[in-house]
Amino acid sequence: MHSTNAPENSTATVEKGIPLTRSGNLLTDVPLPAAVIFEAPLAHNLAWMQRFADGHGAKLAPHGKTTMTPALFRRQIEAGAWGITLATAVQTVAAHAHGIDRVLMVNQLVGRPNMALVADAIKTGLEYYCVVDGVDNVRDLGAFFAERGLTLNVMIELGIDGGRCGCRNAEQVETLVTAIAAQPSLALVGIEGYEGMIAGGDEVASVRAYGERLVETVRTLRASGVLEREAPIVTASGSKWFDLIAEAFDKAELREHYTPVLRPGCYVVHDHKLYAGAMDAVKARDPKLEGELQPALEVFAHVQSLPEPGLAIIALGKRDIGHEPDLPLPLRLYSLHESLHGESVASSDISAWRTTNIMDQHVFLEIPEHAEIAVGDVIAFGTSHPCLTFDKWRRMLLVDKQLAVVEVLETCF
Amino acid sequence: MHSTNAPENSTATVEKGIPLTRSGNLLTDVPLPAAVIFEAPLAHNLAWMQRFADGHGAKLAPHGKTTMTPALFRRQIEAGAWGITLATAVQTVAAHAHGIDRVLMVNQLVGRPNMALVADAIKTGLEYYCVVDGVDNVRDLGAFFAERGLTLNVMIELGIDGGRCGCRNAEQVETLVTAIAAQPSLALVGIEGYEGMIAGGDEVASVRAYGERLVETVRTLRASGVLEREAPIVTASGSKWFDLIAEAFDKAELREHYTPVLRPGCYVVHDHKLYAGAMDAVKARDPKLEGELQPALEVFAHVQSLPEPGLAIIALGKRDIGHEPDLPLPLRLYSLHESLHGESVASSDISAWRTTNIMDQHVFLEIPEHAEIAVGDVIAFGTSHPCLTFDKWRRMLLVDKQLAVVEVLETCF
């Protein structure tokens, strides 16, 4: 049943979301579904967040796990970012292989094969930082990197009770400082935290307090002389509370003697609901803030079937688009069946329609009973939280306003 | 910040889940997390389901969207499968590019670029079938394939009220038959259905009735002379009710004059909960059934942090493993920190432990307060529904009982 001469390396030509012609139009030349990034809001977001960090005297190291798209990492660096934040060793070496030379890995580095990957990257010029929150890991890292004759930069992670990783209190930090000092191959260079685990009660006050605790901790360590860096790093911030962390870090003393680093990731393409709401909250906290992030990521898909009045089945599923915390958000309908041969197609706003279910390869869309819609029409969907849409694609399409494909962006998940 | 001479094609060496050495061991030579398939249960499942289909006089066309792994498609064909079932045009051409010559695409084929992909595959030898459930699609397909001078095999999809795609009643089927007859480029060759949407009430009785409805429909169409195939196709079945559909199809008349086709997909690696439960139900319905499917898919990951008593954070997340309908299931703990240099490592059963949360890159595991566990230890997780684990990986590792990597299996999502 299968040909023995089948080409083994032909997947590149048949992966989903690739235009049939490199300079094609999204509606006529791309086998849908396809994930697209609009170039204008992307450029806007890159500039906006860099300006925001600059304005607070902070460096920007965007979390790269959001996109794992080297072409976007490069744009972030070109816009002024100090480095890229990542979550794992494999993400780190993938970014380094694509030209990123400074990585904050905001997790403990565990497992000898992962350590070996990082050691090789350091040897070939990567400026690398990871975090530690336990003495076992400090001992393992110390032994491994001593064996390799390398120095590993580490930051102590500060966590919160009931949170994720990180030291819960000052005693644990002290214990770690002592453990790190006993490992000549480890250089303690700063403090890392993640405020995104804070939930419940007065969250704004809690995030502010956490930001101050990070600043106090790095000050204390610097004063005690245990930090092996002229301008020690203090870093935190996801994509929701970046403004509060920036305020906590925005001090003359930090600008002069430290390296404060913000790490939002989702900002680069933003979204249509979760972070759109977070942006509204940022603006409410600072009415003088200029401009705002704009949604840049959408997924285009065909109407697959119209089996009953009021129901459209879309050729799009969990394999193609994130569905948490909200199901995909219908934005615009392109009446493509009226225009099979490529004329420009008008779109209508369908943001009042509602996704009711999603399966591996299908989305269920509740539509008005007499909606003008046909099988073969195209719908653009937005997302709530962009991270889990990127990882569904090996390639994303950068498009202009006219939906012409400007560039094919490879991901490296 | 980024080197202009960065290698652009180097991702192959840094993708997640790849062993540092081709013949490595999972615990010592692979940067975890990694998704693995155990070769013995895989071989068992391939043979078991083929024997099951054979025993009921049915062909097997496993749903390939589960794995999108050509090396598994090949094993399924070698075990006796008649073809591979797929969900989209891009999946179809990816499978064909890897040597699969017969594909049932159990969705409407929509969009000219998707039609063009399929037309090219048919021209290069693919035996292809898709489904139709609406006259607009019939008209579009008829025009497109006539233009190309090709014949397209179509099956009418039979759906259920409140379900997904497919005709709801006999009148719709009749209308479609007429519409297809008006398109010389379309060949109506059978009836397709999917019983997996049936939920509520006496599900077993409803699935049986649906199976009979499929059989009656194909009989009626055959008798009326509208089917352009000596042995028309009648096909259904997901991975939960395949036994009931097999029973509905298991008739001397169908064996002789039709092509009954079963399409389960998840069976190939089975799972540790959802389909494990479905298997129990299959066995309960037929106590004489020999043997059963065995779970073959696991994801291995490191203990990342032990920040509080009773809590382990695992270096594994939504990017690495499915989490619906159930969170990842802890199976075994390998005390790797006791054995950093590769001696064989004993494992302990931790299936009583419980995953309480999952984020993009982290799993929260509730553990006994005095559990013997350390950062760097490895945990094997099972899944509930395998499909949404496969699509997180570009490569899966086939391993033997000793966790030696036997083969690296590429996926083509």
The pLDDT of residue B346 is 83
The pLDDT of residue B14 is 62
Q: Are B299 and B380 in contact (CB under 8 A)?
A: yes
CB contact under 8 A, A98 and B8: yes
The pLDDT of residue A336 is 83
- Strands (DSSP E) found in B118-208: 127-132, 152-158, 186-193
CB contact under 8 A, B101 and A165: no
Tokens 């509730």, residue located:
B366
CB contact under 8 A, B337 and A112: no
For residues A345 and B367, the model is more confident at B367
DSSP state at residue A411: P
The pLDDT of residue B8 is 38
The pLDDT of residue A344 is 63
Q: Which of residues 71-90 of A touch B (CB under 8 A)?
A: 73-74, 77, 81-83, 87-90
Residues 6+ apart with CB under 8 A from A258: A218, A222, A231, A232, A233, A234
Q: Which of residues 157-216 of A touch B (CB under 8 A)?
A: 159, 161-168
Residues of chain A with pLDDT under 50: 1-12
The pLDDT of residue B12 is 41
Tokens 């070939």, residue located:
A124
The pLDDT of residue A23 is 67
For residues B19 and B35, the model is more confident at B35
For the cut 60, the answer to whether the pLDDT of residue B341 exceeds it is no
Helix (H) or strand (E) segment spanning residue A218: helix A203-223
Q: Are B302 and B32 in contact (CB under 8 A)?
A: yes
Q: Does A57 touch chain B if contact means CB atoms closer than 8 Å?
A: no
- Percent of chain B surpassing pLDDT 70: 93
Tokens 């409140």, residue located:
B162
The pLDDT of residue A14 is 62
The pLDDT of residue B10 is 35
Exposure string for A357-393, b = 16+ CB within 10 A, e = fewer: ebbbbbbbbebeeebebbbbbbbbbbbbbbbbbbbbb
Measured between CA atoms, the residue of chain A closest to residue B25 is: A113
CA distance linking residue B126 with residue B145, whole number of Å: 15
Please name the member of A4, A315, A394 whose beta carbon is closest to the beta carbon of B107.
Answer: A315
B140 contacts in A (CB within 8 Å)?
337, 340, 375-376
Residues 6+ apart with CB under 8 A from A306: A312, A313, A373, A374, A375, B134
Convert B190-259 into a string of H (helix), E (strand) and C (coil). Answer: EEEECHHHCCCCCHHHHHHHHHHHHHHHHHHHHHCCCCCCCCCEEEECCCCCHHHHHHHHCCHHHHHHCE
The pLDDT of residue A167 is 98
Q: Does A23 touch chain B if contact means CB atoms closer than 8 Å?
A: no
A390 contacts in B (CB within 8 Å)?
none
Model confidence pLDDT, tens digit, residues A136-167: 999 999 999 999 999 999 999 999 999 999 99
Q: Does A134 touch chain B if contact means CB atoms closer than 8 Å?
A: yes
Nearest to A263 by CA among A346, A365, A344, A157: A157
CB contact under 8 A, B98 and A73: no
Is cis: bond before B325, omega within 30 of 0?
yes
Confidence of residue B343 (pLDDT cuts 50, 70, 90): low
Q: Are B216 and B244 in contact (CB under 8 A)?
A: no
Q: Which of B360, B373, B385, B410 to mutate to test the interface with A (most CBs of A within 10 A)?
A: B360
A124 contacts in B (CB within 8 Å)?
none
CB contact under 8 A, A117 and B364: no
CB contact under 8 A, B376 and A137: yes
CB contact under 8 A, A305 and B388: no
Q: Which of residues 354-393 of A touch B (CB under 8 A)?
A: 359-362, 364, 374-376, 378, 387-388, 391-392
SS3 B47: helix
Going by their DSSP bridges, the two strands A363-366 and A311-314 should be labelled as antiparallel
Residues 6+ apart with CB under 8 A from A355: A327, A328, A329, A330, A363, A364, A365, A366, A381
CB contact under 8 A, B108 and A410: no
CA distance linking residue A167 with residue A155, whole number of Å: 11
Model confidence pLDDT, tens digit, residues B272-318: 999 999 999 999 999 999 999 999 999 999 999 999 999 999 999 99
A113 contacts in B (CB within 8 Å)?
19-20, 28-32
Residue B404, beta-bridge partner list: B25
**Quick check: pTM over 0.90?**
yes
CA distance linking residue B314 with residue B331, whole number of Å: 13
Q: Which of residues 135-154 of A touch B (CB under 8 A)?
A: 136-137, 140
Model confidence pLDDT, tens digit, residues B126-148: 999 999 999 999 999 999 999 99
Please name the member of B16, B87, B134 whose beta carbon is closest to the beta carbon of A90.
Answer: B16
DSSP letter for each residue of A260-306 = EEE---GGGT--SSHHHHHHHHHHHH-TT--------EEEEEEEEEE
The pLDDT of residue B336 is 83
Q: Are B185 and B150 in contact (CB under 8 A)?
A: yes
The pLDDT of residue A7 is 35
CA distance linking residue A128 with residue A119, whole number of Å: 9
CB contact under 8 A, A307 and B89: no
Q: Which of B305, B341, B403, B408 to mutate to test the interface with A (most CBs of A within 10 A)?
A: B305
SS3 A196: helix
**Averaged over B26-43, what is the pLDDT?**
96
Confidence of residue B124 (pLDDT cuts 50, 70, 90): very high
Nearest to B253 by CA among B238, B229, B236, B234: B234
